[in-house]
């Protein structure tokens, strides 16, 4: 029998309260400590989940016990011979993939939000009982979706589950609601999609498309290390996010991202959603099993530092869209369009000249996860630039070894290493392994790409694949670049070098380095009201910037807080920060073959 039992009660949907009862049958002899995690694996920010515990009490058989709080997330119970019983309530009102959310429509939780860690018992199996809701009439159609191992459950899934240790216990999110669902198989292994929220999605189409993506990833790694896999999707009005787990993933999306019954084409939003699913599924090998050595000893009490997040999020971001084209869900042109947009995103941040990928990984806790108005000028994304480094590395391997080696081979070698040793990878592990597998000396490449801040030689590398990369000014504020048949002719317009907050008013969210706004003294939060005496909103700003001769300064009026200020601003021409990719029609046969082997390796 497990030493630790957790009982979860759907206590009060209207107050958003889960009730948790823990039985510890053999508490530590010198007093029992209990802790809540400070963060959830996969999301590198201190969230202090203990803040949502609103009541906690303890008892032994027939006697209540005093609890001492030792620090923000640790409690100490007195020395006690008999079993310990702890009851606490958890407030759950964060509709995200990282936490817990409970109301009259559903209950969703991650174990990191609900389960106290029982010190000294972390490596022992535990039992979780999900109790049937009291108000049976309202909840009669609610059912449970989770990858926790069932021991004894009713047809709705309520009942007893088991986890082999605390790390396992907190790595299986749980959705309880009258969700929609569909199933498919990959290599004989059952997969389920569970969808919460009001939507009219074509579930069989979604299942078919996800099956192709999953097959693609399983083909890359050579096997599929799960007995069952679950996609938990929350469809809301607006949202986009995902979090990986060892046998499942949680996804948050807009209901408009999903394919409707009557929809034939793949919308941009649906392709982006498939990319997100592809990303989280890839993680089941890459970060949930292959992972940095330092993640093996993580206690979730404080930050864990690694310079390898670019390896786990960057390489995963590279393969997420690549799997869509390799599995035939999108064509080459569509894939290159997505790639061009990633390049544009990276090239629009001057922060890439100040922060290396290694530093971006290391400081994720205080920078990438805590982005402010200066983020584009100060940091680089280990997702987006990491994906471009993975691309550059893949192409270098393909070109320099004349097709003998590529990044797929490196991923398979990483996977073999994990299966043979079960250990995490050292901070220089990927660099060493890539050089071993390829036989190439890549020290200069890694120094520049990972620890340096120079731009990557993508134009040269893509040309060897028969693809032209061209940077040009943006056509308008919505222009993210893309794939073209012929080079676009775009004349550079006047721009201020700002980003606006969403909405109809022209309120500055970001002031970009070396732009006209920064040179003139405009700041984040400024509410622009007039240019040359004419009222401004977010829709007519571009037009008003381009109405006169470009060498003449514009008079701008704005509110900073409640103070009216006036500035003379000389707009600057839009920089060439927008990426356009084009297939070179007369590319030589070697380049064309390389491109086919890269994007359609099955052919
Ligand atoms: Zn990820």
DSSP letters spanning 384-412: HHHHHHHHHHHHHHHHHTTTS--HHHHHH
Do residues 600 and 326 lie in contact, with contact meaning Cβ atoms separated by under 8 Å? yes
Count of residues making up the chain: 603
d(CA 129, CA 403): 53
| Cα 243 to middle of ligand 1, angstroms | 7
Give the chain's largest Cα–Cα span: 85
Tell me, what DSSP letter sits at residue 260? B
Amino acid 81: pLDDT: 84
Say how many C-beta atoms besides its own lie within 10 A of residue 90's C-beta. Answer: 26
Q: What backbone phi and psi angles, to 5 degrees, belong to 184?
A: -155, 170
| Cα 507 to middle of ligand 1, angstroms | 31
Counting other chains too, the contacts that 182-187 makes at CB distance below 8 Å and 24 or more residues apart are 182/206, 182/207, 183/207, 184/208, 184/210, 184/211, 185/211, 186/211, 186/214, 186/215, 186/218, 186/224, 186/229, 187/215, 187/218, 187/223, 187/224
Strand, helix or coil for residue 184: strand
Do residues 511 and 529 lie in contact, with contact meaning Cβ atoms separated by under 8 Å? no
| Cα 367 to middle of ligand 1, angstroms | 17
Amino acid 255: pLDDT: 96
| Cα 384 to middle of ligand 1, angstroms | 11
Q: What is this structure's pTM? A: 0.97
| Cα 323 to middle of ligand 1, angstroms | 15
d(CA 197, CA 237): 9
| Cα 280 to middle of ligand 1, angstroms | 6
| Cα 310 to middle of ligand 1, angstroms | 10
Burial of 534 per CB tally in 10 Å (0-12, 13-18, 19+) = exposed
Amino acid 488: pLDDT: 92
DSSP string, 74-102: EEEEPP-SS-EEEEEEEE-B--STTSEEE
| Cα 342 to middle of ligand 1, angstroms | 15
d(CA 335, CA 596): 13
Amino acid 139: pLDDT: 85
| Cα 160 to middle of ligand 1, angstroms | 31
d(CA 570, CA 575): 15
d(CA 67, CA 470): 64
Alpha helix (H) ranges present in 327-457? 332-347, 357-362, 375-378, 384-400, 407-421, 429-438, 443-450
d(CA 169, CA 2): 13
| Cα 186 to middle of ligand 1, angstroms | 21
Do residues 244 and 287 lie in contact, with contact meaning Cβ atoms separated by under 8 Å? yes
Amino acid 452: pLDDT: 98
| Cα 288 to middle of ligand 1, angstroms | 10
| Cα 383 to middle of ligand 1, angstroms | 8
| Cα 283 to middle of ligand 1, angstroms | 7
User: 232-277 pLDDT, tens per residue?
Assistant: 999 999 999 999 999 999 999 999 999 999 888 999 999 999 999 9
Amino acid 161: pLDDT: 98
| Cα 279 to middle of ligand 1, angstroms | 6
Amino acid 548: pLDDT: 75
d(CA 528, CA 559): 7
| Cα 391 to middle of ligand 1, angstroms | 16
| Cα 41 to middle of ligand 1, angstroms | 11
- Positive or negative torsion for Cα 374, 378, 382, 386: positive
Nearest Cα residue to 226 out of 218, 237, 238:
218
| Cα 305 to middle of ligand 1, angstroms | 17
| Cα 249 to middle of ligand 1, angstroms | 10
| Cα 43 to middle of ligand 1, angstroms | 9
| Cα 23 to middle of ligand 1, angstroms | 35
Say how many C-beta atoms besides its own lie within 10 A of residue 178's C-beta. Answer: 13
| Cα 462 to middle of ligand 1, angstroms | 25
d(CA 515, CA 407): 38
Distances (CA, A) of 472 to 439, 456, 475, 493: 37, 17, 9, 11
DSSP string, 224-242: ---S-EEEEEEEESS-EEE
| Cα 299 to middle of ligand 1, angstroms | 20
Do residues 136 and 127 lie in contact, with contact meaning Cβ atoms separated by under 8 Å? no
| Cα 209 to middle of ligand 1, angstroms | 20
d(CA 433, CA 317): 20
Per-chain residues with Cβ under 5 A from ion ligand 1: 313
Amino acid 499: pLDDT: 97
- pLDDT < 50 positions in the chain: none
| Cα 591 to middle of ligand 1, angstroms | 31
| Cα 392 to middle of ligand 1, angstroms | 19
| Cα 274 to middle of ligand 1, angstroms | 14
Say how many C-beta atoms besides its own lie within 10 A of residue 55's C-beta. Answer: 11
| Cα 289 to middle of ligand 1, angstroms | 13
Alpha helix (H) ranges present in 222-313? 268-282, 293-296, 309
Amino acid 555: pLDDT: 96
| Cα 29 to middle of ligand 1, angstroms | 41
């Amino acid at each position: 029998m497990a030493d630790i039992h957790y009982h979860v009660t759907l206590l009060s949907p209207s107050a958003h309260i889960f009730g948790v009862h823990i039985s510890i049958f053999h508490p530590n002899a010198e007093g029992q400590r209990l802790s809540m995690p400070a963060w959830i694996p996969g999301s590198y920010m201190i969230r202090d989940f203990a803040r949502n515990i609103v009541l906690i009490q303890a008892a032994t058989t027939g006697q209540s016990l005093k609890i001492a709080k030792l620090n923000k997330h640790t409690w100490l119970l007195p020395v006690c011979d008999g079993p310990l019983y702890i009851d606490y309530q958890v407030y759950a009102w964060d509709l995200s993939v990282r936490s817990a959310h409970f109301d009259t429509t559903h209950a969703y939780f991650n174990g990191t939000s609900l389960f106290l860690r029982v010190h000294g018992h972390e490596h022992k199996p535990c039992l979780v009982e999900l109790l049937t809701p009291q108000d049976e009439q309202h909840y009669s159609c609610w059912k449970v979706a989770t990858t926790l191992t069932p021991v004894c459950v009713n047809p709705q899934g309520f009942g007893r589950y088991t986890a082999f240790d605390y790390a396992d216990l907190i790595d299986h999110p749980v959705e309880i609601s009258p969700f929609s669902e569909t199933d498919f198989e990959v290599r004989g292994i059952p997969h389920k999609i569970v969808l919460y929220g009001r939507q009219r999605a074509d579930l069989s189409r979604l299942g078919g498309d996800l099956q192709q993506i999953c097959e693609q990833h399983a083909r890359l790694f050579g096997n599929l290390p799960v007995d069952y896999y679950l996609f938990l999707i929350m469809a809301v009005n607006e949202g986009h996010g995902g979090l990986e787990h060892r046998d499942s993933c949680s996804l948050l999306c807009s209901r408009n991202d999903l394919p409707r019954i009557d929809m034939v084409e793949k919308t941009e939003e649906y392709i982006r959603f498939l990319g997100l699913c592809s990303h989280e599924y890839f993680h089941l090998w890459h970060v949930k099993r292959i992972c940095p050595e330092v993640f093996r000893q993580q206690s979730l009490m404080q930050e864990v530092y690694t310079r390898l997040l670019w390896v786990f999020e960057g390489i995963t971001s590279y393969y997420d869209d690549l799997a869509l084209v390799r599995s035939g869900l999108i064509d080459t042109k569509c894939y290159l369009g997505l790639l061009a947009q990633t390049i544009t995103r990276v090239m629009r941040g001057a922060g890439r000249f100040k922060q290396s990928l290694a530093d971006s990984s290391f400081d994720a806790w205080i920078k990438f996860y805590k982005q402010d108005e200066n983020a584009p000028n100060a940091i680089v994304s280990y997702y987006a630039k990491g994906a471009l480094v993975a691309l550059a590395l893949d192409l270098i391997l393909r070109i320099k070894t004349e097709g003998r080696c590529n990044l797929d081979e490196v991923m398979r070698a990483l996977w073999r290493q994990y299966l043979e040793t079960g250990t995490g990878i050292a901070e220089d592990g990927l660099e060493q392994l890539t050089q071993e597998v390829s036989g190439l000396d890549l020290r200069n490449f890694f120094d520049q790409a990972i620890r340096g801040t120079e731009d990557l030689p993508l134009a040269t590398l893509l040309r060897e694949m028969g693809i032209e990369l061209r940077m040009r000014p943006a056509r308008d504020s919505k222009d993210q670049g893309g794939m073209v048949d012929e080079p676009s002719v775009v004349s550079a317009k006047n721009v201020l070098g700002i980003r606006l907050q969403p909405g109809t008013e022209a309120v500055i969210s970001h002031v970009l380095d070396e732009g006209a706004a920064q040179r003139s003294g405009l700041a984040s939060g400024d509410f622009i009201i007039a240019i040359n005496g004419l009222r401004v909103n977010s829709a007519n700003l571009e037009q008003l910037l381009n109405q006169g001769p470009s060498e003449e300064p514009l008079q701008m009026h704005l509110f900073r807080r409640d103070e009216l200020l006036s500035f003379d601003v000389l707009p600057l021409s839009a920089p060439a920060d927008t990426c356009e990719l084009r297939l070179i029609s007369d590319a030589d046969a070697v380049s064309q073959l390389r491109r086919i082997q890269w994007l359609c390796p099955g052919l």
